[in-house]
Amino acid sequence: MKGNKLIYSNYKKDRIKGYKKLFKEQEKYYEPPKKIAQGIVEAMAAQGYEIKLDEAIAYMNSSYAVFDRSYYESSR
């Protein structure tokens, strides 16, 4: 998170760039468990949503990034 000031920008375009940078860093230490992602696909189907495994994995990456951002922001 250090050095990624874009993620805290007031502008959506800049925050998106910041998240892209964070996703590149995230690849080094976080890989969503495929078993959990498959469970999300099934749970979403139970709610009437049809999603693919790669969409569930993207959701997991996104939620982890948002949590990281929020945690880092609150601990500064």
Q: What is the pLDDT of residues 9-39, one digit of tens each?
A: 899 999 999 999 999 988 888 889 999 999 9
pLDDT band at 1 (very low <50, low <70, confident <90, very high): low
Residue spans per domain, the chain: 5-74
* Closest listed residue to residue 18, CA positions, set 9, 28, 10: 9
Q: Reply yes or no on whether the pLDDT at 75 is more than 90.
A: no
Give all strands (DSSP E) within the chain, no chain letters: none
What is the mean predicted confidence (pLDDT) over 47-55?
Answer: 97
The pTM score is 0.81
